[in-house]
Structure 1
Amino acid sequence: MRNIIIGGFAALVLASCAEEKKPKDGLDISGSIKGFKKGTLYIQRLNDSSKLVPIDTLKFNGQSDFSTHIDLKEPEMLYLFLDRGVTNSIDNNLPFFAEPGSMTIQTSLDYFTADATIKGSKNQDLYNEYRLMMSRLINKNLDLIQARLIAINEKNTSRIDSIQKEQDDNLKRRYLTTTNFVVNHGDYEIAPYITLAEIPDVTLKYLDTIDKSISPKIAKTKYGKKFKAFVAERKKMGQ
């Protein structure tokens, strides 16, 4: 009986030690890049000067899979930058909303950003949802730009004015849609991030609405603090 007790106590001690060695904060990230066999993958973040700086470097030499651990204390937008070596492409930088815990990213060399499937982050899921909504408005604006160029070439003044009104309405929908999305997700870090990244020039009226929707918890995060400082500065300038 005594040996059983001692054995059980030892197991608890070992489990406790293992728990102490396990990082309290951080991100375990793994995945694969189909077709990528030779080159370097950088995990980057924006520094205080808004420049991308590497926080981890992964070398590929015959394998397509990768895994690493990153010191990450709170959700943050990070970037996978692919160095293809001899060949290069504009499709090299993949943003993803990282969260402490475990995440997987599956993609391909040929369509690095378009093929990306990212799992393990609620903020990333919401970011995908937002981008899908915005894609419709972006496509609409591209169609209007093309129509405007044709109208200008034809010197059709009335058509140009009509298209300008449509573009203005489309821009208003973008602001309103983004504001509604942010207000509905004020409990997530994606809310202040999207506001700062997508609609920094929105009116103070909308900013006030967004500000009231940001939860106290999110207000204390990296993007929450930046958003609060931004709102204070905008109000100080009266814009």
Structure 2
Amino acid sequence: MSLLRVHQVSKRFGNQTAVDRLTFSVRAGQAYCLLGGNGAGKSTTVNLLLGFLRPDQGTLSFLDWDLWRDRAVARDHLFYLPDQVSLYPEFSALENLDYLTRLANKPSTAMAIREALDAVGLPRVAHGQPVGAYSKGMRQKVAIALARLKDAKLLLLDEPTSGLDPAAIKEFVALIADLKQGGAHVVMVTHDLQCAHLLADHIGILQAGVLVAERENRQLSLDDLEHLYFQSVLDQQESA
């Protein structure tokens, strides 16, 4: 079974340790959430997974690749969804996906692009409209359609539900669940406990670069998760 593995990874910036001996793994069809506030090390972890930063120690591997040494190859199988999706605002969804799939060396036919947009629930009437007028949820649907067209096997989600209304959050969670069923590995970083509880199979609580707790989500109610999170924060503050 394919696996994303982060093993004893540390990253320092000068005298500041941003990530300290981080270890976790994700199997195909699963979502792992790193839950933490500002300064917890979430962004550094994402940049390590993207191959933008070299770990000072430890390894990050996916399938047969080291995510630093083989980053150029690994990126062909990886998809990053930032908090704010950047698309060409004057282009339609169809035009954006036509250009972006070509840029990724995975050109798609017009029919395949329409089918991907249909699959993520973007209304047909919006396919040919400039994306500059889209809501955040609609832009995310275009991005997820791109992930489908690329057949991405590893999805990195950065605060994906920030600014979404409850209906859009429900749609987003359903779209990610569909990708998981297709065998994708999902890593999400967020400070949103409810989002983590809705989407993740496993949750790790990150504080000051340290993974202070890790649980299977099915073992937790939302109240349990909230208690675990704030107790972990308190414990980390007392030990600092």
Larger Cα Rg: Structure 1 or Structure 2? 1
TM value normalised by structure 1? 0.32
Q: From the two aligned structures, give the one with the greater helix fraction.
A: 1
TM value normalised by structure 2? 0.32
